[in-house]
Amino acid sequence: MTTFVLIPGAACDSWHWHLLAAELRARGRDVVSVDLPCDDDAAGLDEYADAVVAAVAGRGQGQGRGRGRLMLVAHSFAGFTAPLVCARVPVDLLVLLAAMVPLPGEAPVDWWAATRHPDEQIRRAGRAAQHAGADTAGEPVPESAVPGSAADPFFQDLPPELAAEAAVRWRRQSETPASRPWPMAAWPAVATRFLLCRQDRLFPAPFLRTVVTERLGAAPDEMEGGHFPMLSRPAELADRLERYSRTAAG
């Protein structure tokens, strides 16, 4: 049986996966939804990978392929973490969901400029929203970072109550992991799929098509939705992941 390991992006935790996790479990699937030490200034990408490995081991996985197949699903900033996990435990498939794709030696803070992200306003809004749980009292929040606003880059396709709760659930995100170079010398030798969302405002589809093609050497798969399809379209996303699992097993 495949175990779906759900790795959150910056300032997020297992709650942001809860609708997808419930959908997969209702189908009889095994799910590990990971919480990362994102508010710990001593924790970098290696410690994030340690947290994923520990969560997998806690579910009886990670000791060998005979104990189950692993599919990592890495959202957004977790694109920097998931490949490190692939170097530590046997992984059958890595799925990058609206994710950042790093190059060797590239620090996440430099990724935006290196990939030629097209919209500085969206980048500023994203940083403000992701640090909503940090010590930023008194700092103005741009209109584009307000959940439910017309320019919300994260939750624009969620019902208003769910969008508001998702924003409240932002955790404090330490800058430590973003400031350190990605430590891998090359992309891991693991089957990798990339799934982008066509209405994603943080990572627009044309931008991600170029990034994925240049950095992974393959065209991404695509679905409808914004940056958080696990909240806006959990059933459709579960269908996609199950198809990936069957393909990998075949």
The reported pLDDT for the residue numbered 121 is 74
CATH code (residue 209): 3.40.50.1820
Residue 166 lies in a domain: no
Residue 100 lies in a domain: yes
- Kindly state the helix (H) or strand (E) to which residue 197 belongs, with its residue range: strand 192-197
With vertex at residue 199, the alpha carbon angle to CA 149 and CA 202, rounded to the nearest 5 degrees, is: 65
What φ, ψ does residue 73 adopt, rounded to 5°?
Answer: -120, 110
The reported pLDDT for the residue numbered 238 is 98
Residue 220's domain spans which residues?
2-118+171-249
Residue 131 lies in a domain: no
Q: How many domains does the chain have?
A: 1
- Kindly state the helix (H) or strand (E) to which residue 113 belongs, with its residue range: helix 108-114
Residue 71 β-bridge partners: 4, 93
Residue 137 lies in a domain: no
The reported pLDDT for the residue numbered 71 is 98
Mean pLDDT split into 10-residue runs, the chain, 250 residues: 96 97 97 97 98 90 58 98 97 98 96 91 63 43 51 90 93 93 97 98 96 98 98 98 91
The reported pLDDT for the residue numbered 143 is 44
Global confidence as pTM: 0.90
Query: Whole-angstrom Cα distance, residue 122 to residue 102?
Result: 20
Distance of alpha carbon 68 from the chain centroid: 23
